[in-house]
Amino acid sequence: MKGKRGEQEAVRLFKDNGYEVHRTVQYNGRSPEGAPDLDGIPGLHIEVKRVERLNIQEAIDQTTRDHKPGTLRAVFHRKNNCEWLVTMPAADWFQIFREYEGEKENEDDR
């Protein structure tokens, strides 16, 4: 049950920030093996962990096993009374940041 609640909280987090996502289970009746917990952001494999003690390496390993080639991997996680955090492999973070820098340079050139 806590997994479902965590996924529902994460959906609200995305919606509050202007992104439409849904729980994979919501559309498939159950989560197919290897499917992300949340779907709706192209190119991003999202796992949600709502636990007090998280083995972050196991969570990242899960995204690595399950993600489709070419997608970024991210674990959204939080403990009780704490804010949401996002953990991802450094290579994926650098890819995002390079794209951000490229867009910022294009804006500066205008």
pTM of the complete model: 0.87
- The more confident residue out of 18 and 30 is 18
Q: Are 74 and 45 in contact (CB under 8 A)?
A: yes
Cα separation of 74 and 56, whole Å? 11
pLDDT in tens, 31-50: 567 899 999 999 999 999 99
Average pLDDT score over the chain = 90
Residue 2 confidence (pLDDT): 67
Portion of the chain with pLDDT greater than 90, in percent = 76
Instruction: Kindly list the structural domains of the chain, giving each domain's residue range(s) and its CATH number in brackets, ordered by start.
Output: 2-109 (3.40.1350.10)
Rounded Cα distance between 90 and 51, Å, is 23
